[in-house]
Amino acid sequence: MSSLVLVTGGTKGIGLGIAEAFARAGANVVLNGFGEALQIEKTRSELAQRTNAMVVYSPADMSKPKAIEGMIRQTVDMFGSVDIMVNNAGIVRDRMIVNMSVDEWDAVMKVHLRGMFCPVRHAIDHWRAMSKAGTPVDARVVTTSSGAGLFGSVSQANYSAAKAGIAAFTIVGAAELGRY
């Protein structure tokens, strides 16, 4: 059985490139992201044709725990497992701090941080249940960050802080979750 890779932010840009690389390597892929439905369906269909992989689209909001829980459950029902969780979803709301609104700050934090934590949290529940049932788990979490998270970027205080948070979460997550 081939691996199942769930890619958040997987309907365009870097996320779509990541999804295609996994599909070309033989994985089945669940694309998650937002956009115009017809364009996403065209993207999904073309990716499946180019790679001969099973490619499914899920529009679940990564910041909503119930939506993620449902997506993980549906993915497990369809494919048997989630083997790799790639957290790539992101947005920018470029603005100098003096001009940035709380809503612009919150939107970036919601997509980058909450939208990374929620899917990882629910994937971990799945993997822990497998482990406790005696099923070997060979799973991975991949997170994407940015140089802005390490060095900062003018007019991107919100984005830079979120990307730094992703880097810190990844370090802690690796230490906590390696045993699963």
Catalytic residues: 146, 159, 163
10 within 8 A of 31, measured Cβ to Cβ: yes
Asked if residues 4 and 84 have their Cβ atoms less than 8 Å apart, the reply is yes
Residue closest to 89 by CA, chosen among 45, 67, 98: 67
Show Cβ contacts of residue 170 under 8 Å, excluding neighbours closer than 6 positions: 141, 143, 145
Question: Would you call 29 helix, strand, or coil by DSSP?
Answer: strand
- Cα dist from 20 to 1, 23, 44, 62, 133, whole Å: 18, 5, 10, 21, 32
Residue closest to 80 by CA, chosen among 9, 20, 130: 130
Residues paired with 28 in a beta bridge? 4
